[in-house]
Amino acid sequence: VFRTTDTAHPGVQKVMEQKEINLAGPVKVWSEGSFPKDYPGVYMRPEETRRIFEQKGWSTVAALQLRNPMHRSHEYLAKIAVEVCDGVFIHSLVGNLKPGDIPAEWRVKCIDVLVKNYFIEDKVLQGGYPLDMRYAGPKEAVHHSIIRTNLGLTHHMFGRDHAGVGTYYESYEAHRLLMSIPRDKLFITPIFVLEWVYCPHCGEVTCIGLCGHWKEHQKFSGTKIRSILIDEVKPTRLIFRPEIFDIVMDAAKKYGFGSPFVGPEYLAKAKPAFSIEPL
């Protein structure tokens, strides 16, 4: 699945930390854990999303997955989806993440503010689903396609290094794998998007396929975004909407973890969403 046995890979590390005994067999009962209570109005079951899409009159709906605070590059991706489909479903992970990612409850607030202030609300819907990131890159992209198909989505946005981490996968490896799968086997239409960058020469956020000032491009890398937030240097509106930056900073100060990202303190306090009572 991961194509590596390197324990520095968060997915490999999680597998290696599992206990010696694993259970398998038919699933009789599946607990939804604390998700419905923790994320009211955001955590939705497949029958709910399908009903909402039908009520909105959306015959085509694109999924946009996020696990980082929504910056302007993500905003452009969402607006591309609105141009292509009747609506866009911004679908966040609300399961466990790796150290360095931003906790789900804060991302939900960021997306909510962005949708209310910078989109036509009837064209955008936010949702969350209880999946832990595996960081398995291309194969996880296929997994995400299956999940979104079950939810009733017809299209899926795939940008650079979808579900990747570090340098384990090539930038557009997920694109190539998805293109190799026949449409009658995948059941969802991928929307492949090249990397979005900030170009100082153009003075705007643009796609690498549209702007030739490659030497001047400033990438929206996770490392750069984290450094902006941790240093508390308020970025230009071309990088982050000010409302988003303020929410993340307020959350960091409120929870007192020293930074707005998942760290040892957060992980120590976090309770598992699913648990099995002892026999």
The set of catalytic residues is: 67-68
Question: In a 3-state reduction of DSSP, which class is residue 156?
Answer: strand
Rg (CA), the chain: 19
Quickly count helices (H) and strands (E) in the chain.
Answer: 11, 8
Pairing between β-strand 204-207 and β-strand 196-199 as defined by DSSP bridges: antiparallel
How far apart, in whole angstroms, are the C-alpha atoms of residue 168 and residue 154? 29
How far apart, in whole angstroms, are the C-alpha atoms of residue 95 and residue 84? 29
**Is the Cα torsion angle 75, 79, 84, 90 positive or negative in sign?**
positive
Burial class of residue 117, CB neighbours in 10 A (0-12, 13-18, 19+): exposed
How far apart, in whole angstroms, are the C-alpha atoms of residue 213 and residue 210? 9
Residue 240: other Cβ atoms inside 10 A: 23
User: b vs e for 194-209, b when ≥16 Cβ sit within 10 Å of the residue's Cβ?
Assistant: ebbbbbeeeeebbbbe
The residue among 100, 89, 83 whose CA lies nearest residue 124 is: 89
Cross-strand partners of 270: none
How far apart, in whole angstroms, are the C-alpha atoms of residue 124 and residue 113? 12
